[in-house]
Amino acid sequence: MRFSARSHSLPASPIRRLEPFAEEARARGIRIYPLHIGQPDIETPGQFSEAVKKFSHKTLAYGTSQGDFGLIDKIVEYYGNYGIPLERKDILVTNGGSEALNFAVQIVCDPGDEMLVPEPFFPAYAAFAASASARIIPVTTRAEDGFHLPSRSGIEKLISPATRAILLSHPGNPTGVVYSREEIETLADLTVKHDLLLIADEVYREFVYMDELYCSFGNIERIRDRLVIIDSVSKRYSACGARIGCLISRNPEFISLGLKYCQARGCPPTLEQLGAAALYETPDPYLKEVNREYRKRRDILFDGLSGIPGVVCKKPEGAFYIMAKLPVDDAEKFIIWMLQEFSVNGETVMTSPAEGFYATPGLGKTEIRMAYVLNEGDLKNAVKILAKGISAYPGKTLWPE
Ligand SMILES: Cc1ncc(COP(=O)(O)O)c(C=O)c1O
């Protein structure tokens, strides 16, 4: 039997593909600090399960393809508070931000089309691009520059007649970058000038640790009809398993094309939409408190990493990830070694190899991504174990200063 070349070309997730090594370690009784995946340990607000428990219909029927208006109205209200006026018709509810991303890429790209994506990027972007037979054209950013964007001309020279969209996460996964108003304006200018779609993945919008005000791409009026926002309750309300996200656009053609994908998949899950709608009613202090907690964790991880000889990283401005260059021959080999051969008092650490977060071959080979989603005590232990691991690793190298 023959399967499609397109499916073969899909990259496996660098975040999940080393799980079997973790399973083996757990089977040997090793405790693993999971820094490899953005699975927050914060409790999901109780409103979610309370709303689900109140469901009393005798039949769990299909809902509408667009999504439940109870939830959509909450999303409209949330965006109104951000100064982004939306109407019901601008929103399609999806199975997580992931489905929203997949639909957005399918809607904008024909085979061979290109999307500019700042790298390192969330690896699912590469999988969705591959499934649309589209190409990612990386806009390379570096830890040394805090993963901020190159100059306008540096970006513009990557745009070709095949370019259809700019896709980025803001705040950034895996970089933690929060773009300045100037960077946002530059991207908006290029979007308009070259007749592109801007796909702004803003699922980490509430996780910004700078004092300046966060600017959403939704606040830039001149890209109003060429902007798609990807959103989700997964990280905002620590509800990754709810699988509720949405696709937002004030371009009616985009929405009517998107609706066909929504119809093909049927509808989003009924109970989870009820729960998600209730999450949007979570009292305001919740998000502020969660933000404070992540800011504290960021500082613990960053300070800990900065104290390890040879490790290079920049303090992230948002999201809950950090990229670090390690003084090792190969980050993936190091991660596997940590799982197979290293532990301190029966404990070890799992991180993600960063190579799969880049489209440019060879980049990220000695980098890892970590998610600071563990409590203070666990995070401190994890950094100590990581430091000991680096020092004991046989493939340790000296990092050139
Ligand atoms: C940047 C970014 N976008 C989208 C998603 C998808 O989130 P979900 O499908 O859980 O809503 C993630 C998940 O980690 C992410 O990091």
pLDDT in tens, 6-17: 999 898 888 888
- pLDDT at residue number 401: 47
Cα of 29 to ligand 1 centre, how many Å? 31
Give the pair of three-digit tokens for residue 76: 């409209």
- pLDDT over 70 (residue 322): yes
User: H/E element holding 124?
Assistant: helix 124-131
Query: In this predicted model, what pLDDT tens digit does every residue of 236-275 receive, in sequence order?
Result: 999 999 999 999 999 999 999 999 999 999 999 999 999 9
Query: In this predicted model, what pLDDT tens digit does every residue of 92-129 receive, in sequence order?
Result: 999 999 999 999 999 999 999 999 999 999 999 999 99
- pLDDT over 70 (residue 136): yes
Cα of 103 to ligand 1 centre, how many Å? 14
**pLDDT mean over 46-56:** 96
Q: Does the beta carbon of 174 lie inside 6 Å of ligand 1?
A: no
Domain count, the chain: 2
Range of the domain at 364: 5-43+285-392
Same domain, 275 and 292: no
Q: Does the beta carbon of 240 lie inside 6 Å of ligand 1?
A: yes
Residue to mutate (ligand 1; options 39, 229, 232; most atoms within 8 A of CB): 232
- pLDDT at residue number 12: 84
- Last-in-domain residue among 262, 279, 296: 279
Residue to mutate (ligand 1; options 35, 75, 98; most atoms within 8 A of CB): 98
- pLDDT over 80 (residue 154): yes
Q: Are the CB atoms for 192 and 185 separated by under 8 Å?
A: no
- How far lies 55's CA from each of 62, 194, 365, in Å? 14, 48, 49
Contacts 24+ apart (CB under 8 A), 50-55: 50/278, 51/274, 51/275, 51/277, 51/278, 52/271, 52/272, 52/274, 52/275, 54/274, 55/270, 55/271, 55/274
- Of all residues in the chain, what percent carry a pLDDT higher than 70? 99
- pLDDT at residue number 399: 53
Q: Does the beta carbon of 38 lie inside 6 Å of ligand 1?
A: yes
Residue to mutate (ligand 1; options 122, 125, 205; most atoms within 8 A of CB): 122
**Cβ partners under 8 Å of residue 239, min gap 6:** 44, 48, 233, 275, 276, 279
**pLDDT mean over 327-339:** 96
Same domain, 344 and 381: yes
- Last-in-domain residue among 248, 279, 310: 279
Same domain, 272 and 290: no
Q: ∠ at Cα 187 (168, 295), nearest 5°?
A: 50
Q: pTM value? A: 0.95
Same domain, 36 and 18: yes
What's the DSSP call for residue 375? -
Torsion of CA 243, 203, 16, 119, to 10 degrees: 150
